Amino acid sequence: MGLGSYIVNAQADCNGCHSAGPASEFAPGGNPYFGKPTKVNPDTYLGGGRDFGSLPEPSPSPHIISRNLTPDKTGRPEGGHTFSEFVQIIRQGTDFDQVHPPCTGAPDGTCLPPPFDGNLLQIMPWPIFHNMTYHDLRAIYEYLSAIPCIEGPEDPTSILHKDCKSSITWLGRASACP
């Protein structure tokens, strides 16, 4: 867990892009940009939802939104993906959720026209991440599997929604068997 936490928090600053909203990365009174000691907001930690805006062309174009990296009821991070899928996401940018599929006709504000590939995430892989070792990626995956789930929006069709409920409770925290 230690190496994964170090990479996610100290090296990669994953929460910088994957916190649930631009104003909520830091807890009240914990914004280091205002001279305060850094305090991460646990209610939004890696919960996704950062809006990077739309692509410059063509218009209309969908907004690119960071994903919720927290584990779901399966105990797996980033939407319940296996480690093998997680490696594909980090190394190739594979979008298993197909949020913005490739356009087959005129852009409609939800699909991605060429030269963009809707089968891929438009921000990931961040250049440095696709060079990480399997050891580092496994450490990140295990760490993300151990953090609390952020449920996100109530709408189950939202890419940020997570079903955090599990029938098993371990030391007072809901979790799922691996």
What DSSP letter does each residue of 123-148 carry, written as one string? Answer: SPSPTTGGG--HHHHHHHHHHHHHSP
Q: How many domains does the chain contain in total? A: 1
In 16-156, DSSP assigns E strands to 51-54, 63-65
- Give the Å distances, CA to CA, from 75 to 43, 86, 137, 164: 18, 14, 17, 9
Q: How many other CB atoms are found less than 10 A from the CB of residue 119?
A: 15
Domain span at 152:
2-175
DSSP structure class, residue 53? E
Tell me which residue has tokens 């399997």.
134
Residue 93 and residue 125 in contact, taking contact as beta carbons nearer than 8 Å:
yes
- What residues does 170 pair with on adjacent strands? 173
| pLDDT tens, per residue, the chain with 178 residues | 899 999 999 999 999 889 876 557 899 999 898 999 999 999 899 999 888 888 777 777 788 889 999 999 999 999 899 999 999 999 999 999 888 888 888 778 788 888 888 899 888 888 888 889 999 999 999 999 999 999 888 888 888 888 888 644 444 444 444 4
